[in-house]
Chain A
Amino acid sequence: MEMRSCVEDDWLMVFHLQGEIDAQTGPEFREALEQARTEGQRWFLIDLLKTEYLDSVALGILLGTAKETSKVGGRLAVACNRPNLVKLFELAGVKELLNVQETPAAARSLLEQAHQTAGQSQDGGE
């Protein structure tokens, strides 16, 4: 698995994952996400367009991150268009929970809307 990450526009952390996410490679991904959350990141876009394989290990990591980010007012979205991987999100019943979109642009758009809404609520509360 190859992993790249960057922060875009000072708020959105994007992970690009290439190859296979399983019990061998998953821990590296989990640790990177945990570190980012520890550093205060709460908006995540997970780009799986170049991911060829994932299983329950990856689903568990994504679910855990989605749960933790939502607790602090953030959100996670996934970009994935490989039918064999989308099938797993559907079988596990987590496609909506993980905001799985076909393209990174669609995932980003979804997160931008949520981010704006969160910003407005914060402004309204101040």
Chain B
Amino acid sequence: MFSLETIAEKIAANIAYSLHMDEDKKAVMAYGIFCFSQILASILLVILFSLLFHVLGQALVICFTIAILRKYSGGAHAATPGKCLVIGTVISVVPAIVITHIPVNVIWVIILGIAAFAWAFYEVLTKAPVDSIKKPITNARKRKRLRNGSLVILGIYLLVIVVLLSLHSFAGDNGHLIRYAACILFGTVWQTLTLTHSGGRLFAMMDLHN
């Protein structure tokens, strides 16, 4: 069966054989090649499906909001790369379609934003970084650096939302800026959910049903 992980391992094995490298170097190369191809596939799928529904900008904002915070905070994982691609695409494109088509109200974005960011800061402070068996984070300094990084990213998201809502109020656009703020808000809420036990259970359920 087609698997990015297998292809990455084969490429790394060929290079390691040709350059007379040891097993450690081969494993590091396979990891690098797989990570790069998985990221590329995730972004390409989001671009493809969001173009079909005319929500490219919104879907990419959700996708990168989740991914950037996830880099520091960690979170629940899918069991296989394929399920990860499906979950990542659905979670970026479906909310983008909904946010684009429902009426959004600046007051509601502010109310939900305050609640969401209070929750996100609490979860990040108490849980981040959430590691996995395949990538345990045991070093205390690294954990502290990643937690602080998560808090900085959350602060930046909050600032961007405030700027977008202020611009909307002063410049009076036709709702695009509120929708982008709502996309950042959704991405933050989803990524925060993956830090919790409920998020872990949700991923486990999706793994079973995919």
Is B truly associated with A?
no
B residues with a Cβ closer than 8 A to A are none
A residues with a Cβ closer than 8 A to B are none
